[in-house]
Amino acid sequence: MNEKYPEIKINLLAVKENYRTICRLLVGGPIVSAMVKNDAYGLGAQRISCSLYEAGCRDFWVAYIQEALDIRNVLPPDANVYYLQGFCHTDLELLPANNIVPVINSLPEFNVVKNKGLRFVLHVDTGLTRLGMRRRDLDAILPNLAQEQILYVISHLANEYGGQHDWQQKRNFDEILAKILNVTCVKESLTASNVLNLDESFHYDLVRVGAFLYGIQGGGIRPLNVLTIKAKILQMYDVPKGTCIGYGATHVTDRKTKVAIISIGYGDGIKRQLSNVGNVLFYDSNKNLYKARILGNISMDSMACDITDVSSGVAVEGADAILIDDTYTINDMANAAQTIPYEILTSINFKSKRIKLTYVE
């Protein structure tokens, strides 16, 4: 591996501890399950799922059946694997053999599984207006539900901050549940990572936690950071006041400036919205922190930053520039880019052959 390649470390110990934190805070309450869709938000679903299983997790959610098959290949038989979207009739023969449970979102999907003796999850829309069974369709299938193996009825909140819309969705969910429970016995799930922001009545039987596991903060409880990204200084030079930097000449220096060129860019998944507003970090031997602002537009494979005020001997050619760590987290980067941390995380090109990726466990 080229020593100038960017480096990413994923801390599986921190992922486990974030899971255990949710479990401790909800002790005696709902089952805590894990959302590992989109390759565990890019972090590697197989590695993440195995670590979460070691931490006690037994319920895992993905988006598509291929994702479900991928993690089923590495998880023990007692793990429950559900997939949220994309169910079709060609999946039927794969489900019992692989112990995978589909989520049914619509009347046509229900018509495929009914009377097949399959276990499934029923998803109802309560106000997010995305996937999910609509009320008129639910009314149509109610007479058939007593003969089906429905493991959970689930929905998804639009906000998860305990506001008026959340409460309206909960009322909608409870009304739907009342109809279903008149016909058959089911378990329920409504909330995701921000469950800790909500009244206990939102907890139901199971919560589906994703973002919190991966260091994304959505409420008052701060998760452990799970990600470190660093890149090397490729070159350094001094430029006079009035020098244009980067494509489009979007930055012009307002003083004599020492510039460092860092070996990472938007081709590695670093958002261009960080151009001229984001920071990279440097640490001296005593762990003192220096922030260096990104200058100009981020390029595909590199970016420039201002190291004028970084202590002499700290920012040198070959030194590490930190983009994300325990001090400057994915949440901080998202704030700087004026986007959400989910987008930051899922944009990072973890599988690039020119990124040195390691797991801490």
Of the listed 37, 230, 232, 271, which one is catalytic? 37
Q: Which of 4, 116, 247, 256 is catalytic?
A: 247
**Residue from 324, 225, 322 nearest 14 by CA:** 225
Active site residue 4: no
Query: Would residue 247 show up in a list of annotated catalytic residues for this protein?
Result: yes
Active site residues: 37, 247
